Amino acid sequence: MKYLCLIYDDEKKIEKMSKEEGEQFFGEYMAFTESIRKSGHHLGGEALQPVATATTLRMRNGKVTTTDGPFAETKEQLGGFYFIEARDLNDAIQVASRIPSIRTGSIEVRPVMDFSQQ
Amino acid sequence: MNAVEEVYRTDSRRVLATLIRLLGDFDLAEEALHEAFTAAVERWPTEGVPANPRAWLVSAGRFRAIDAMRRRARFDASVAALAQRLEGSATPPPDAETPDVEDDQLRLIFTCCHPALHPDAQIALTLREVCGLTTEAIAQAFLVPVPTMAQRIVRAKAKIRDARIPYQVPERAELPERLAGVLHVIYLVFNAGYFERPDLSAEAIRLGRLLAELLPEPEADGLLALMLLTESRREARLVAGELVLLEDQDRSKWAKTMVADGLRLVEKALRSRRFGPYTIQAAIAAVHAEAGSAAETDWAQIVGLYDVLLRAEPTAVVELNRAVAIAMRDGPEEGLRLIDALLARGELGDYHLAHSARADLLRRLGRREEAATAYARALELASQEPERRFLQRRLSRQ
């Protein structure tokens, strides 16, 4: 079963990290990614540019409007994701609880809809 | 009572737990359970009760579920695949004596109390699936409209299916945390029955017994002991619907078998040296159970146990209970000083028991006006009727 692990972090906290802290954080992510590649859980994953780079689109009355920034201002922002294959939710929780941002932000685990079962 | 009703009462929840494992779906399993008992009502009177009714019911339920799916499959290809998978799975209907069937009940408890489910839904699902209470009865117990409760249960089942919450007892590494979650749900059910729903407290004790039997963990024994020792006082605690405080209770009315069971379990849990907060609370209840009266109570030991509890569970409520015990050991002034300090910290300001405990100490000190103010504050915050009437009586006497 496939799960998307959405990583929410406080961008301000990340910005405030010293060079050493930042390098260590990055190193932890590299090690984590490597470990879930080895265990066969890894299907994909990316880190995202900060929300300042986000653009939100809407179509209303047939017209597309384009606005700067994310849909809603929140304390924690979507900063990246992992796409994983897991046996069940317990297995997915085991994987997601090792994502380094769990200590500073939060991880949302979402099962992917399987249309073949519908 | 006829044989089918008897088996329904004793075994239907166990049959359901096994059917959920075999069919992999709560709703299918409930339908299959219903079908299995319908078949039993038709056949047992003429064919006789089978030697192993539980295995017979599991087998009948599974057979009928697959049969029903095959009929539906004519219209829907995906159901056909599911039916084929279930039929193909070589899982034979388990023998009722194998430990696996007991494990099914444990699996069901851990699934219903999975931390990924909303806390309210954990309680509702446990009462519905493990205890077999109707949705109406659960809604009534938690003062929620029936459709709201029904939706809560439907959503929880949908999450179990869609997020694939597994039907299993957690692995060793996860067990302590997951067990704590299950014990918490059971204790909430128990407390929901504390005043006017002895049926809920009885269900919680039944669940506690089941868990302690299936999973030999000290805290499971500790919680069961705590519930038994608390429940043993029910007759003495509520007399004609009116609340009687521990110190004024007629101790000859305490249920002796429950006290004996509770004492045995708490000793067993303490001996393990791997106990936690429930066992410590049970040990405190045990000190009360062994005392002939409030005056004969070993308050020094109770304060000592609260010190241990405070280290395991450093919460303001535990501090409050410790302050009350200190008042009993060292006099009301000392207890009052601690409660005032707690309230000054801004904690427990909205907790009715903090104000009623404070009121009681002021009353003992003869500070009647202050006591009246504190009783009035407690009354504002209390929601349970027997407690409200008790506070009203105290208030009118100040």
Beta bridge partners of B282: none
| pLDDT average, residue stretch B167-196 | 91
Beta bridge partners of A4: A83, A110
Q: What percent of chain A has pLDDT over 70?
A: 98
Q: What pLDDT is stored for residue B142 in this prediction?
A: 85
Of A85-94, B72-81, B83-92, the least confident? B83-92
Q: Is the pLDDT of residue B319 over 60?
A: yes
- Tell me which DSSP letter residue B331 carries: -
Residue type, A84: I
Residue type, A19: K
Q: DSSP of B196-262, one letter per residue?
A: T-HHHHHHHHHHHHHHHHHS--HHHHHHHHHHHHHHTTHHHHEETTEE--GGGS-GGGS-HHHHHHH
Q: Which residue in the set A111, A116, A118 is minimally distant from B164, CB to CB?
A: A111
pLDDT tens digits, chain A, 118 residues: what are they? 999 999 999 999 988 999 999 999 999 999 999 999 999 999 999 999 999 999 999 999 999 999 998 877 888 999 999 999 999 999 999 999 999 999 999 999 999 998 875 5
CB-based contact B165 A90, cutoff 8 Å: yes
Q: Is the pLDDT of residue B93 over 60?
A: no
Chain A residue closest in CA terms to B115: A90
| C-alpha Rg value of chain A to the nearest Å | 16
> pLDDT-based confidence at B332, cuts 50/70/90?
very high
Q: Is the pLDDT of residue B98 over 60?
A: no
Q: What pLDDT is stored for residue B99 in this prediction?
A: 45
Q: What pLDDT is stored for residue B88 in this prediction?
A: 62
pLDDT tens, residue by residue, B113-125: 999 999 999 999 9
What is the greatest pairwise CA distance in chain B? 81
CA distance B197 to chain A (A): 35
Residue B141 in tokens: 């117990």
Around Cβ B51, how many Cβ atoms within 10 Å? 8
Q: What percent of chain B has pLDDT over 90?
A: 78
CB-based contact A89 B78, cutoff 8 Å: no
Topology of the domain comprising B319-398: 1.25.40
Calculate ∠ Cα B72-B163-B104, nearest 5°: 75
CA atoms of B19 and B58, how far apart (whole Å): 6
Q: Which residues of B touch A118 (CB under 8 A)?
A: 78
Residue A40 in tokens: 């066969």
CA distance A111 to chain B (A): 5
Detail the DSSP E strand segments found in A1-118.
2-9, 42-47, 55-60, 63-68, 77-85, 106-111
Sketch out chain A's domains with CATH numbers: 2-117 (3.30.70.1060)
pLDDT tens, residue by residue, A89-112: 999 999 999 999 999 999 999 999
Q: What pLDDT is stored for residue B143 in this prediction?
A: 85
Residue type, B257: T
CB-based contact B78 A118, cutoff 8 Å: yes
Residue B82 contacts residue B54 (beta carbons within 8 Å): no
| pLDDT average, residue stretch B108-112 | 95
Residues of A with CB under 8 A from a CB of B: 1, 87-91, 93, 109, 111, 113, 116-118
CA B72 to chain centre: 39
What angle, 0 to 180 degrees and rounded to 10, lies between the N-to-C axes of helices B175-192 and B99-112? 70
Q: What pLDDT is stored for residue B91 in this prediction?
A: 53
Q: What pLDDT is stored for residue B100 in this prediction?
A: 59
| C-alpha Rg value of chain B to the nearest Å | 25
End-to-end CA distance of chain B: 55
CA distance A16 to chain B (A): 32
Q: Which residue in the set A90, A111, A117 is minimally distant from B166, CB to CB?
A: A90
